[in-house]
Amino acid sequence: METKYIFVTGGVVSSLGKGIISASIGKLLQARGYKVTIQKFDPYINIDPGTLNPYEHGECYVTADGFETDLDLGHYERFTGIHTTRNNSITTGRIYKTVIDRERHGDYLGKTIQVVPHITDEIKRRMLRAPEGDMGASPRGGSEGGFDFVITEVGGTIGDIESAPFMEAIRQLRWQLGRNAVCVHLTYVPYLKAADELKTKPTQHSVKELQSMGIQPDILVLRTERHLDDSMRMKVASFCNVDLECVVQSEDMPSIYEVPVNMQRQGLDAAIMRKIGIPVGETPAMKPWHDFLDKQRNATREVHIGLVGKYDLQDAYKSIRESLNLAGIYNDVKAKLHFVNSEEITKRNVGEKLDGMQGVVICPGFGQRGIEGKIIAAEYTRTHDIPTFGICLGMQMMVIEFARNVLGYKDANSAEMDANTPHNVIDMMEEQKTITEMGGTMRLGAYECELVKGSRTYEAYDEEILIKERHRHRYEFNNQYQDEFESNGMKCVGINPAANLVEIVEIPEKKWYIGTQFHPEYSSTVLHPHPLFMSFIKACVK
């Protein structure tokens, strides 16, 4: 089968949920037996989100091959279980850098380099996932990886100046690919309370803007907070030149994981297949997914988890939040998450701030701000035996706290926070010391970790010895202190076999007190929740 391409665009306002719709389409096609990949094209000029503040763009998601990407790739992986790579996340910055580098190498033989065709050609090449230098070939030959469907989500909103080259690339591909391409456009249908009416005019204007760029959407997904009746769908279909069966509504659901089922119920996947000319066949049962949703609906008992961090923004810890929610569901409880701002934690108020928490996650991050609050929280949970999960910087704060309050090194610190500390229990990795550039230069991607038999971590991983997890950091546990930590009760139970780096610490005598240098949240999916989050929630419930 020739590769089919689905382009997902958005109109009216941002944050409508294009990523969730893209992931849902991927899940539905996957359920029909197709090999699918999903990619995100972002119009900003940063090379990747790695240097962006979480307040700007939410969390930075890391792929197994070590690329810093948009958080929507987390949705793609959690919904479908696919492994994305650096090829699944493209920014305008990467496109321009590629073209400029080629021009500097003389690849264009002295031609004037322009947005059209050179920038748009590079966008098209990446949308098709074609090999380097393959832009002159017919786009019908199939994509890299042998995928049946390549779903491309374009960030931003129709009409944005920075999105124009992407829209032009889609317009060209739409004609070149014929029935092998489908355009799905997500828009907003607002409800005006004063008039007690739903308004379709913003959707009409959004589609008109898209048509002015030469793109006729095949399918409309209408984001709405209220149910749309058939007459309103008919009105949209009529005014936007779209078949009625191709006008689908995306209502607010109790959970984002209900969205694929809601889309299937309305025949979104069937409409895509009809547009492409593939026999629709039977509707997949998706039993594992429905079983998960049943567990979610029946999980009414709450477990309260404190997230100790400095970013008071839901998307800043998106993968951690979702991993905790998924692990809660599989433990038949509802994880109730409470953000606790580490900048506001003091020794005097820590008991009040963490009151009622059955477990605490000490969150990742960078920089000085809020770290003393994390250290105070780690001491409180250790001395009060509250299940505690430290991730990346969170693990490092657990180590510093232990060094200060158990080993007696009151001036212990990380070299990141205090370059002159006499007890640098956390130190910069040797290979990082000569690096000056910030973007994409950390220890990134999946690395092996050997677990110590009999440890709580080893038990959580179902007695696996060698695991592989994703990293994003420059600083590491200082091995000079390993014997001292271990003899005083904090065990180093996960070691990278290649570099002898400490990846996991735990205090066995506590109910659950574990820190990981890696980010386990990146590998947790709907049908396969991460074992460490499962074990942590189980301890919190007890």
Residues 6+ apart with CB under 8 A from 223: 16, 17, 186, 187, 188, 189, 250
The answer to whether residues 92 and 116 touch, using CB atoms and an 8 Å cutoff, is no
Catalytic residue, from 75, 185, 471, 519: name it.
Answer: 519
Nearest C-alpha neighbor of 319 from the set 504, 75, 83, 68 = 75
Catalytic residue, from 392, 449, 492, 540: name it.
Answer: 392
CA atoms within 13 A on the CB side of 134: 16
Cα 432 to Cα 475: distance, rounded to the nearest angstrom = 8
The answer to whether residues 175 and 127 touch, using CB atoms and an 8 Å cutoff, is no
The answer to whether residues 346 and 98 touch, using CB atoms and an 8 Å cutoff, is no
Which run of H or of E encompasses 123? helix 120-128
Cα 71 to Cα 49: distance, rounded to the nearest angstrom = 9
Degrees, nearest 5: CA angle 329-331-333: 60
Q: Is 437 a catalytic residue?
A: no
The answer to whether residues 342 and 497 touch, using CB atoms and an 8 Å cutoff, is no
Q: How many CB atoms lie within 10 A of CB 492?
A: 21
Residues 234/27/289/280 CA torsion (nearest 10 deg): 60
How does DSSP classify residue 228?
A: P
Q: Is 392 a catalytic residue?
A: yes
3-state secondary structure of 458: helix
Cα 163 to Cα 154: distance, rounded to the nearest angstrom = 8
List C-alpha distances in Å: 71 to 12, 88, 278, 308, 486.
Answer: 21, 12, 32, 20, 37
361 phi, psi to nearest 5 deg: -105, 125
Q: Is 492 a catalytic residue?
A: no
User: Hunting for tokens 């149910």 — which residue is that?
Assistant: 227
Cα 91 to Cα 43: distance, rounded to the nearest angstrom = 6
List C-alpha distances in Å: 351 to 355, 357, 373, 514.
Answer: 6, 10, 12, 20
Degrees, nearest 5: CA angle 287-291-292: 120
Tokens of 527: 């049908």
CA atoms within 13 A on the CB side of 199: 12
How does DSSP classify residue 36?
A: E
Cα 457 to Cα 44: distance, rounded to the nearest angstrom = 40
The one-letter amino acid code at 318 reads: K
Cα 494 to Cα 372: distance, rounded to the nearest angstrom = 26
* Radius of gyration of the chain from its Cα atoms, rounded to whole angstroms: 25
Beta strands 443-451 and 466-473 are antiparallel
User: Hunting for tokens 């990380």 — which residue is that?
Assistant: 414
Catalytic residue, from 153, 476, 503, 521: name it.
Answer: 521
**Which residues carry out catalysis?**
392, 519, 521
